[in-house]
Structure 1
Amino acid sequence: MTDRKLALETWESLFRAQHELFMAMAADFDGTAITQAEYDVLLTVVRSPEMTARLRDVTSNMLISQPSVSRLVDRMVARGLIQKCPDPEDGRGALIRATEDGARAFRAVATVHGRSIAQRMSKLDDDELRTLHALTEKLRGL
């Protein structure tokens, strides 16, 4: 049986580490054309075939509620970062496609943000990174 105290301490440490890294990396978006939340939407969309993803897939990858994602997507459409159209395979769904401006803004931030992530994660060696990755996937049930 798992040691309850150790489980709680480990959870708190994992949560705090994630939160601190997330807050530190928020600076990666200072002065950029897109916000951190917009980057998260574009991450799913730009990496999808033909830079197009289902809205439900975008929503499932976000850490905010579905109504918040919908409002964010609508703001991004208004800013010209993405296009939204009906999903021909799902009458209630929508497809989200990155515009050239959206893809360009994403790539500009992705370069800086990727370096920032690598720098912060460099405190761990490759074996530790593989172990951490395996453990977090296990916790997520993957």
Structure 2
Amino acid sequence: MTDRRLAIEAWESLFRAQHEVFDVISCDFDDTGLSQAEYDVLLTVTRAEDMTARLRDVTANMLISQPSVSRLVDKMAARGLVSKWPDPEDGRGSLVRATAEGAAAFRKVASLHGKSIAERMSLLDDHELQQLRDLTAKLREKKPH
């Protein structure tokens, strides 16, 4: 059985590390015209085939509620960063596509943000990075209670 005290210490350390690293790299979005949330939407959309994703897939990758994601995407559409239309395969769903302007804004920020992430993560060697990736993936697996 897992040592409860150790589990709590490990969780607190993981949480604090994530929070502190996020604070350091959050300035990547200053003066870019994109918020972190908008970047996250564009990250999902630009990685999808034809830079088009279902709204539910965008929501699944976000840390905010579905209604909040929907409002955010509507605001991004009004700014010309994405387009949104009904999903012909799901009457209740929507499709979201990055516009040329949105994709360009994403690439500009992604270059800077990727550099910041790589710089911060360079405190770990490649083996440690692989371990971290694998351990956090394991923590994200859904297990029945």
Query: What's the TM-score once normalised by structure 2's chain length?
Result: 0.96
Aligned residues: 142
Mapped to 2, the partners of 1:26 and 1:136 lie a distance apart of 21
Equivalent position amino acid for 1:132 in 2:
L
* Residues 63-102 of structure 1 aligned to structure 2 (within 5 Å): 63-102=63-102
Moved over 3 A (4+): none
| SS of structure 2 residue aligned to 1:84 | strand
Q: For 1:21 and 1:90, locate their aligned partners in 2 and report how far apart those are by CA, in whole Å.
A: 38
SS at match of 2:95: strand
* Residues in 2 aligned to 1:16 and 1:72: alpha-carbon distance in whole angstroms: 28
Structure 2 unaligned spans of 5+: none
Report how far residue 25 of structure 1 moved: 1.0
CA distance in 2, matches of 1:17, 1:73: 30
Which consecutive residues of structure 1, in runs of 5 or more, have no partner in the other structure? Answer: none
Q: How many angstroms apart in 2 are the aligned matches of 1:6 and 1:21? A: 22
Equivalent residue, structure 2, for 1:44 = 44
How well do the aligned residues superpose, as a CA RMSD in angstroms?
0.8
Return the letter of the residue paired with 1:9: E
1:33 & 1:111 partners in 2: Cα distance? 15
- Measured in 1, the distance between the counterparts of 2:89 and 2:96 equals 14
In 1, Cα distance between equivalents of 2:59 and 2:82: 15
CA distance in 1: counterparts of 2:93 and 2:3, whole angstroms: 44
What is the Cα deviation at residue 135 of structure 1? Answer: 0.3
Deviation of 1:60 (Å)? 0.2
1:24 maps to 2:24 = yes
Query: Which residue of structure 1 aligns with residue 104 of structure 2?
Result: 104
Structure 1: distance between partners of 2:22 and 2:90: 34
Tell me the CA shift for residue 24 of structure 1.
1.2
Quote the offset at 1:23 in angstroms.
Answer: 1.5
Residue 116 of structure 2 corresponds to residue 116 of structure 1: yes
State the percentage of identical aligned residues.
70
SS of 1:62's partner is coil
- Return the TM-score normalized by structure 1: 0.98
